């Protein structure tokens, strides 16, 4: 069996967009739950060294979210709104409060591959190539890889 569990992260050459693709041993319903249930989401999001505390969470079309991630006593805050939450797609905004004027429009698609597998495609759109490239250079792939590995373990142990 050929199982792709690495995350492919790509910068679009013509659009200020980052795209990520990752396959999971999960149904689309499970991946949706992992992204909308606040207790589940807090357990897997971000690098291993961070602990995440949900401050606000209303994962429905027109709702909003806010969470704080803590590393060695330092707090990193994030917030956004849910433009749309539906079975095959989430569209939301994202701001890291350390860069309060920066806003990304994020889209997640859950593609059913059958056999209990789902491809997650994610797109993050910003309004400058400089901002996009700075984000890519920030080491964000560590948080993405470690976060999805935690989600893999939660799927394997029946947590989701």
Helix 28-36, helix 140-156: angle, nearest 10: 120
Nearer to a second copy, 15 or 156 (CB): 15
Residues 6+ apart with CB under 8 A from 144: 7, 9, 20
Within 10 angstroms of residue 89's Cβ, the number of other Cβ atoms is 13
Nearer to a second copy, 17 or 32 (CB): 17
What's the rounded Cα separation, in Å, for the pair 54 and 58? Answer: 11
In the complex, the smallest distance separating the C-beta of residue 74 from a second copy, rounded to whole angstroms, is 24
In the complex, the smallest distance separating the C-beta of residue 78 from a second copy, rounded to whole angstroms, is 12
Contact 61, 48 (CB under 8 A): no
Nearer to a second copy, 91 or 149 (CB): 91
* 3-state SS assignment for residue 98: coil
Footprint of a second copy (CB under 8 A): 14-17, 56, 61-64, 66, 79-84, 89, 91, 93, 95, 101, 103, 105, 107, 123, 125-129
In the complex, the smallest distance separating the C-beta of residue 49 from a second copy, rounded to whole angstroms, is 28
In the complex, the smallest distance separating the C-beta of residue 109 from a second copy, rounded to whole angstroms, is 10
């Amino acid at each position: 069996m050929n199982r792709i569990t690495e995350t492919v992260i790509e910068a679009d050459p013509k659009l200020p967009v980052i795209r990520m693709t990752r396959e999971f041993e999960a149904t689309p319903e499970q991946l949706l739950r992992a992204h909308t249930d606040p207790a589940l989401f807090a357990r897997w999001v971000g690098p291993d060294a961070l602990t995440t505390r949900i401050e606000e969470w209303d994962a429905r079309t027109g709702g909003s979210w806010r969470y704080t991630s803590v590393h060695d006593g330092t707090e990193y805050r994030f917030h956004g709104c849910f433009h749309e939450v539906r079975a095959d797609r989430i569209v939301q905004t994202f701001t890291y409060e350390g860069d309060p004027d920066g806003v990304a429009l994020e889209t997640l698609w859950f593609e059913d591959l059958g056999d209990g597998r789902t491809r997650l495609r994610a797109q993050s759109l910003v309004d400058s190539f400089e901002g996009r490239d700075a984000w890519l250079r920030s080491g964000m792939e560590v948080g993405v890889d470690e976060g999805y590995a935690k989600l893999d373990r939660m799927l394997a142990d029946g947590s989701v």
